[in-house]
Structure 1
Amino acid sequence: MFKKVMTIIFEKRISNATTSSTKTRPSHIFNINNNNTTLITRYYASESQNKDKPNKKELRSRRALFYVPGSEERKVNRSRTSKADCIVYDLEDGVAFNRKGIAREMVFDTLEASEPGTSEKAVRINAVGSGLDLDDLNVVLRSTRLQAIVIPKVQTPKDIQFVSRMIDSVATDATKTTIRLIASIESALGIMNIKEIATSDPRLDALIFAAEDYCADLGLIRTSSRKELAYARQVIVTAACAYDLQAIDLVCLDYNDDTILTEECQEGKEMGFVGKQAIHPRQVDIIQQTFLPDDKDVNRAARIIQGFKHHTDKGIGAFSLDGKMIDLPMVKWAEKIIARAKAGGVTIPTPPPIE
């Protein structure tokens, strides 16, 4: 009787907690029955979600977000052969003011001429409220090949919601339910409003940390240790994890130094980022290789998931693998590793049967 009451109370608390959320995300609760503990996953959908908004079951790999200046024809043409997970045609900082119009048309034509492939095609528009964003959106949203929009200088949920409404109004029928949004956090206000931004719209898929703009906003001195950026980076990773988004790390400005780039990639990976921004083609391979889960982790993750299923069927919760205890947090880690590996094109090994 006590167990039944506790289950009801716990479920009630979970239900009440979700009423204030504006995002759809899983909540894990335990059902106690006949002395066995099983994991139940329930999805709570916000009533505000529009049925025309995307169903984000597909995990898009974004190990490298490669920026291509939208007004430079040579670089735009070279981008067609890039292997970057996400190619971002830039209409913002990489384009001079007097070439914005040319860039819009060139990016639109490039999108329309592109073939479906492994690279996601995205556009970074000018900041909402800049006076240039509306023209950007009215052009690029008419492309049938556009897959994502990077919104720079996001400070409040209204920045995300404005772009989402423009998608509803302007985007083609073919892309209206598939375009994802990526928010670039570049200021103190953006960091302070991170929860509201992260839960602002169902189309939002990822958070980017823009270190240089952030340093300029706060007057920080940029150092090689990056210690001055630790707080903001961890805030973004935490918010992304809490609200089922991807976290994309800062740009490495030393694009000719592979050692520094590799160090930054490894550090970002250890902090919880799933990808990194690239500003030069030579950065892409190192970034994508580093952010791909290594074989050792993939193999272990596959064995953990196999062991979890095997022991759950027997009514056993925690179990031992290679002399270490495995419980639900480790299973959650394993599921994320496998998801990232699959999204990156890795073949998941089948572990030998458990005897």
Structure 2
Amino acid sequence: MFVRALRHAVSGSRGMSVLAEARELVPGGLGLERERLRRALFYVPCSEPRKILKAQQSVADCVMYDLEDGVAASRKEHARGLLAEAAAGSRRGAEVGVRINAVGSGLEDADLRAALQAERLDLVLVPKVESAADVQHVCRAIDRAGRSAVRVIASIESARGLVNIHDIAQADARVDALLFAAEDYCADAGVVRTATRRELYHARAVVSTAAHAFRLQAIDMVAMDFRNMDVLREEAKEAATMGFTGKQVIHPAQLSVVQRCFAPSSAAVLHARRIVDGFRKSCGAGFGAFELDGKAVDMPVVKHALRVLRRAELADEHTSSDP
């Protein structure tokens, strides 16, 4: 739970929401209204009731019920049958999504029917996206079902998907995030995985940059060594510095580490508040840029500070919604 001092730092002495401050200080706004807290995207095989129950009770920002890789071919129909009840039982405040099988697999339409019949559904994750047409196929099904609030995450898992990422990002207004799936990408592109992750830097940077270019969220790869918290922490911090807004998670033990790494620290929140307040004071005196702690502060720095405060605001709202 945020301490009172941090809550005050987020809202400032004027008690304004961060959205209101952004509208006041940044010409044209920052698009922060689209910001959602999706630090950990937690995959749960929808064929396993025990794991479903654990996911329902977890602190994950986003619970993604999996009908794809986490479910054996012989259990697909069984998993679809459990989906609606699993989604309905998810923790209040958590985002609920479904990962369907890839478009062209022959399984995607049955997955979509099951997903769109669930009363509680926020997201459809489309795996192995290689073109805008893959996304549009799913969006048409959502439209036909009349589920206007359901958004789409496009998963980039191949060289072709990476090359076509700009078209994919603009495929439909429902697209809300781009996601990078490292293992499938490596298998497709002939990339050899190493402990340094240097071989993935380009692909990850492309996904993050494309997401921000179109004001989408960017979701980083899974840390496959899921019991090694040091590696997970290192990966998550690295991803956050690259502009990713969250990370895929495959084990409950990963949740708290990932969600801490993608939330602003107390020091970052307090510093962001000083930047925003200093900018407001500078503007009131008829100036734009100003100096803080020996460093120049101008509009790009202010925009970053507002994003930090908005993420802190969302994290506090998420914590307050926990049972």
Question: Which is further off, 258-267 or 211-220?
Answer: 258-267
Equivalent pairs counted in the alignment come to 294
The match for 1:237 is: 208
**What RMSD in Å do the two structures reach over aligned CA positions?**
1.9
| TM-aligned CA distance change 1:255 to 1:114, over 3 Å | closer
Instruction: Give the share of equivalent positions with the same residue, in percent.
Output: 48
Counterparts of 1:180 and 1:79 in 2: how far apart (Å)? Answer: 21
2:28 to 41, 50, 53: 41
The answer to whether the Cα contact below 8 Å between 1:63 and 1:85 also exists between their aligned partners in 2 is yes
Which position in structure 1 is the counterpart of 2:105?
130
2:65 matches 1:89: yes
Q: Any stretches of 5+ residues in structure 1 without a counterpart?
A: 1-37, 44-54, 348-355
User: Once the 2 structures are TM-superposed, how far is the Cα of residue 220 of structure 1 from its aligned partner?
Assistant: 1.0
**Match of residue 200 from structure 1:** 171
Q: Which runs of 5+ in 2 are unaligned?
A: 1-24, 319-323
Equivalent residue, structure 1, for 2:55: 79
Q: Give the 3 Å change call, closer, same or farther, for CA 62–39 of structure 1 in structure 2.
A: closer
* AA matched with 1:81: Q
Name the larger-Rg structure.
1
Residue 315 of structure 1, CA deviation: 2.2
Q: Partners in 2 of 1:296 and 1:75 — Cα distance?
A: 36
Of 208-217 and 104-113, the range deviating more from structure 2: 104-113
Paired residues of 2:26 and 2:303 also in contact (CA < 8 A): no
Structure 1 340/258 Cα, relative in aligned 2: closer, same or farther at 3 Å?
same
Q: Secondary structure at the match of 1:40?
A: coil
The CA deviation at 1:265 is 0.9
Cα displacement (A) at 1:270 = 1.3
Task: Say whether residues 1:344 and 2:302 are aligned partners.
Answer: no
> TM-score w.r.t. structure 2 length?
0.87
* Structure with larger RCO (C-alpha < 8 A, sep 6+): 2
- SS across alignment from 2:308: helix
Q: Report the counterpart of residue 160 of structure 1 in structure 2.
A: 135
| Residue of structure 2 equivalent to 1:261 | 232
2:159 pairs, out of 188, 193, 197, with 188
Cα deviation digits, residues 171-190 of structure 1 (max 9, x gap): 4xxxx232111111000011
CA distance in 2, matches of 1:83, 1:112: 16
Displacement after TM superposition at 1:39 (Å): 5.6
**Which residue of the partner structure matches residue 41 of structure 2?**
65
Residue aligned with 1:154, SS? coil
Confirm or deny: 8 A CA contact 1:83 1:118 kept in the other structure. Answer: no
| Match in the other structure for 1:333 | 304
Shift of 1:293: 0.9
Closer/same/farther in 2, CA of residues 142 and 56 from structure 1, 3 Å limit = farther
Once the 2 structures are TM-superposed, how far is the Cα of residue 336 of structure 1 from its aligned partner?
1.4
* Equivalent residues of 2:32, 2:307 under 8 A apart: no
1:177 aligns to what? Answer: 148
**Match of 2:28, SS?**
strand
- In the TM superposition, residue 346 of structure 1 has moved relative to its aligned partner by 6.8
Opposite residue 164 of structure 1, the aligned amino acid is C
Letter in 2 for 1:102: H
More helix by share: 2
The aligned amino acid for 2:94 is: S
Q: Does structure 2 conserve the Cα–Cα contact (< 8 Å) formed by 1:206 and 1:248?
A: yes
Which of 163, 175, 181 in structure 2 is aligned with 1:210?
A: 181
Aligned to 2:122: 147
Superposed, 1:217-236 pairs within 5 Å as 217-236=188-207
Q: Following TM superposition, by how much is the alpha carbon of 1:42 offset from its aligned partner in structure 2, in angstroms?
A: 7.3
- In the other structure, the counterpart of 1:24 is none
SS at match of 1:255: coil
Q: Distance in 2 between matches of 1:147 and 1:346?
A: 18
Aligned residue type for 1:140: A
